[in-house]
Amino acid sequence: MMGRGSHILPPKAVAIEKETPENERPSTFLRESDGDNHSLSSVRGRFEKMIRDAQDCVCQAIEAADGGGKFKEDVWSRPGGGGGISRVLQDGAVWEKAGVNVSVVYGVMPPEAYRAAKPASSTDSSSDLNHKPGPVPFFAAGISSVLHPKNPFAPTLHFNYRYFETDAPKDTPGAPRQWWFGGGTDLTPAYIFEEDVKHFHSVQKSACDKFDPSFYPRFKKWCDDYFYIKHRGERRGLGGIFFDDLNDYDQEMLLSFATECANSVVPAYLPIIEKRKDVPFTDRHKAWQQLRRGRYVEFNLVYDRGTTFGLKTGGRIESILVSLPLTARWEYDHQPEEGSEEWKLLDACINPKEWI
């Protein structure tokens, strides 16, 4: 779910302790030994509060839209600090599978992973470049969600917002303290309703424009490039925004920006669900949705940085794979008829469009 350069980490690269089930949600997953960083007024403390508030808000909206389904909640912790809350609503009236997870992770990153994650810059001194540091402790917190509706005319949504710090007690040669923000929200429909896609992208642009007019075009392209299924030559869906490794702006500004983006999830997505959740559909529509779900699985298991990071580092497997749909489909050499609604979706995934 989180981690810069996670796509290049070798197996067992990061030491993360096994989780312990808990009966109650703690007020914070931050460990007291963090000192000032344990404070609820610290960036760590405020980011954890933000993602937990966002989890509550999104889960309430998802349950309300379903009209009966309830989330199953698992709370877990780790002996050395950190933990998480995993919530899943499965096989409801509207949702096939909806997962909304938050986690706080403490781990140790080997120096080669840190170097790959943080390439040498022109400001690094020669002593920094020549010094080989030991393992680099890190802190990461994030919210990650994938929402798969049953109706093929209702789109899937993914969003993820995360904060990452190297946690060395002080700057050390070759491994200075560092922090990053990352995240994004993206839409994956099986059928295109232009007004839905325009609404979704307009909400993303509005959130971005409150902070920097360059954010939306930059992060929209980043999203199109990131969710690219190389072996298919197509995108997973119709995009949104995506950013990673952001630390070249003021830290407070980026914390506010991530908060604004997380708070935009419900207004961007739930109006579309309310409009499409009860639209009649046929077996053909469902089969196409299942084929597109297959593409979702392919991207997440082969390319997604968060999934591969979690699988390689001993993360909580049920939380990592909660993004996968309940059902999916693969047909041999399936080609939609040119000009069909299915073909229009595939064309938009191959050739990204400017929706607003």
CATH number at residue 60: 3.40.1500.10
Query: Do 170 and 253 contact (CB within 8 A), yes or no?
Result: no
Q: Which domain holds residue 273?
A: 20-114+135-350
Least confident of 73-87, 114-128, 201-215, 252-266: 114-128
Is the residue at 147 inside a domain? yes
**Is pLDDT above 80 for 16?**
no
Is the residue at 217 inside a domain? yes
**Is pLDDT above 50 for 4?**
no
Which comes out higher in pLDDT, residue 140 or 10?
140
Answer whether 0.85 is exceeded by the pTM: yes
**Is pLDDT above 90 for 131?**
no
Is the residue at 275 inside a domain? yes
Which pLDDT does position 136 carry in this prediction? 79
**Is pLDDT above 50 for 90?**
yes
The phi and psi torsions of 87 (rounded to 5 degrees) equal -125, 130
pLDDT for 169-218, tens place per residue? Answer: 665 555 567 899 999 999 999 999 999 999 999 999 999 999 999 999 99
Domain count, the chain: 1
Which comes out higher in pLDDT, residue 120 or 277?
277
Q: 184-218 burial, b for 16+ CB within 10 Å, e for fewer?
A: bbbbbbbbbbeebbebbbebbbebbeebeeebbee
**Is pLDDT above 80 for 105?**
yes
Average pLDDT over the chain reads 88
Q: Assign 127 a pLDDT band (cuts: 50, 70, 90).
A: very low
**Is pLDDT above 70 for 52?**
yes
Which pLDDT does position 80 carry in this prediction? 78
Q: Compute the distance between CA of residue 86 and CA of residue 172 in angstroms, rounded to an integer.
A: 35
Is the residue at 127 inside a domain? no
Percent of the chain with pLDDT over 70: 84
Which pLDDT does position 299 carry in this prediction? 97
Is the residue at 119 inside a domain? no
pLDDT for 316-349, tens place per residue? Answer: 888 889 999 999 999 999 999 999 999 999 999 9
* Active site positions, annotated: 158
Is the residue at 74 inside a domain? yes
Kindly list the strands in the beta sheet with 136-149, ordered across the sheet, starting from the edge strand earlier in the chain: 20-22, 72-77, 83-90, 95-109, 136-149, 156-166, 179-188, 240-246
